[in-house]
Amino acid sequence: MVKALTDIYTTFKSIFTGMGITFRHLFTRSVTVQYPQQRDVLPERVRLKLHVNIDDCIGCRLCERACPVECIEIGTIKSTDDDDLGETSTGHKKRLWVDQFDIDMAKCCYCELCVHPCPTDCITMVEDYEYSAYDRNDLILSFSDMTPEQIEEAGRKLEEEEEAKRRKKEEAMLARKKKEEAKAAAGEAGGEKPAGGGTGEASKDSDAESSRGADASGSGDADSDAEKAARRAEREARRAARKAEREAKKKSED
């Protein structure tokens, strides 16, 4: 009986306490954010969506390698010698065409690991969270600004350049071979009949030419030899210039 009465008392006490609390909350300000009209202020370092400033991208693929879920896909084409891609805003020289920079936001796990390795700070997280799509493929963001024609052009130019280089190399090899053959032939000739003939003279000529330097050009083994010698000289000059530059720099630093 006493227990029943105390039970009744505690029941009503707790019910009225509860009702008091709910009544207070009935008039407290609600915490709802009326989303499309109102928006919360986002924290400073939110990770919501990746953005790439493609003008600054040097195509180093560090972000692609850092990504744990492999959602970044980068394609690059080497630029040719006559193309100048300019520099990034951070002063890096751009040497590669970035013909593909796709980020699959459906795969992205928002870890931000790709952002930190970037040497030019061109990949960043931006404050955009309203990019849901009906098709999964719409979540693949393509940042490359190259048109298919440009990509084709870049690829063709690279191919041409490589072709040209290869041809040059081949020609050089061929020339060296010929020269060696000629030398061998000359040696043979010298051995058989000393105080040489036409070939001996020719070889002498070419030696003279190579020691003199550059300009003679035409056809035949003498010419190819001359070319080679010219290139060697050029290279040496460049090396010397670089060495001088380095030394100058060192001096100025000291």
Partner 1 sequence: MQQFLESFLPAGPLVVFVFSIIPLMIILVYALFAIWLERKVAGHIQDRLGPMVTGGWHGWSQTIADLLKMIQKEDIVPAKADRFLFKMAPFIAFAASYAAFVAIPFSSGYIGSMIDIGVFYIVAITSLLSVSIIMAGWASNNKWSLLGAMRTAAQTVSYEVPTVVTILSVIIVTGTLNLMEVTEMQTGNAFLGFLPNWLIFHSPFMVIAFVLFFIASLAESHRVPFDLPESESELVGGYQTEYSGMRWGLFMLTEYADMLLLSLVGATLFFGGWNSPFGSFMDGPVWGAFWMLLKGMLLVFVMMWLRWTLPRLRVDQLMNLCWKYLIPLSFVNLVLIALWELIF
Shortest CB 156 distance to partner 1, Å: 57
- Region near partner 1 per CB under 8 A, out of 24-32, 47-55, 142-150, 195-203: 24-32
Q: In three state form, how does the secondary structure of the chain look?
A: CHHHHHHHHHHHHHHHHHHHHHHHHHCCCCCCCCCCCCCCCCCCCCCCEEEECHHHCCCCCHHHHHCCCCCEEEEEEECCCCCCCCECCCCCECCEEEEEEEEECCCCCCCCCCCCCCCCCCEEEECCCCCCCCCHHHHEEECCCCCHHHHHHHHHHHHHHHHHHHHHHHHHHHHHHHHHHHHHHHHHHHHHCCCCCHHHHHHHHHHHHHHHCCCCCCCCHHHHHHHHHHHHHHHHHHHHHHHHHHHHHHHHHC
Residue 13 found at the interface with partner 1 (CB under 8 A):
no
24 vs 251 by CB, closer to partner 1:
24
Among 6, 9, 15, 246, binds partner 1 (CB under 8 A): 15
Residue 39 found at the interface with partner 1 (CB under 8 A):
no
Are the beta carbons of 175 and 210 closer than 8 angstroms?
Answer: no
Among 6, 9, 10, 23, binds partner 1 (CB under 8 A): 23
- Region near partner 1 per CB under 8 A, out of 4-12, 104-112, 201-209, 219-227: 4-12
Residue 29 found at the interface with partner 1 (CB under 8 A):
yes
7 vs 234 by CB, closer to partner 1:
7
11 vs 147 by CB, closer to partner 1:
11
User: Applying CB under 8 A, what is the total number of residues that bind partner 1?
Assistant: 18
- Region near partner 1 per CB under 8 A, out of 21-29, 77-85, 86-94, 161-169: 21-29
Residue 237 found at the interface with partner 1 (CB under 8 A):
no
Summarize as ranges the residues that interact with partner 1 (CB under 8 A). Answer: 4, 7-8, 15, 18-19, 21-23, 25-32, 34
